[in-house]
Amino acid sequence: MPRLIPFSVLLSLLSCGGAPAHTDAPVASGSASADETAAAPAPSDSAAPPATLPTSCSVPNGDVCTPADDFVTRLCNARFLEATFVLFSKQSAPWTRGFLRGTVEAWNASGGASLRAKLFFDEEVLVLRRRKPAQGGIVVGDQGGYDVLRWDGYCYSLDAGEVTMKPPPQPRRGHVAFFDLAKPMQDALLATPAVTKAYAKRMKECGGATVGDVTAACEKAENALSDAAIEAARSSSTLPLPEKLP
């Protein structure tokens, strides 16, 4: 005669013998879920340029102090007039200045923003990087040269024989239209009495005109304002950091 299994024992066996309870697979510490991985932004191919201007020489830089090459490329790809004023100013003094040995017509031979212009004897420029001599073929007198920055905010390419690092008694500077500058830079320069005086003279002679035919007196006042603004920027150590940076 078979033995009867007590009901309480049978009930216990049935409850234990069913389908196993579902358990989540363990997640490794620090790993992201599929949803989190899908929502995460893809990494950028290149780091964003820093929101500032360089203040130290690139390495190696030979006998000249120049910014890093990637910064120079960005600088020369467009016109950064306010950044140009800061780079020429006393507050970023390490950069090497060059001076034209004669009057030359130049443009940016390295690509980017290009403006063909006449650079004048004894004119001051900022040395940005060396240009290597041309390779291949028969080359006569090509010793390389420099990409330089002019006060007008554009980059130009000069042969080695067209520029010297020895300053002349009275360097010249390229012309800059004062009203091409952003308002914060204008205001900073107008804090200098010489600029304020030149500005008042310019407004008297030219009125509100900034383009078109002007009188000789207006043109003279415009040039005087440009000279005063450049001189104020060159000797300043407190120019505002431009909103538009390379």
Rounded Cα gap, residues 84 and 86, in angstroms: 5
What pLDDT digit, counting tens, does each position of 30-67 carry?
444 444 444 544 544 455 656 789 988 987 667 889 99
Domain residue spans of the chain: 69-234
**What pTM was computed for the model?**
0.75
How much is the pLDDT for 8?
45
What pLDDT digit, counting tens, does each position of 202-234 carry?
999 998 666 567 789 999 999 999 999 999 999
CA proximity to 87, closest of 73, 103, 75, 74: 75
**H-helix segments, the chain:** 7-16, 34-39, 69-76, 81-88, 183-189, 193-206, 216-234
Is residue 192 scored above 60 in pLDDT?
Answer: yes
Angle between helices 216-234 and 193-206 (to 10 degrees): 160
Rounded Cα gap, residues 132 and 105, in angstroms: 20
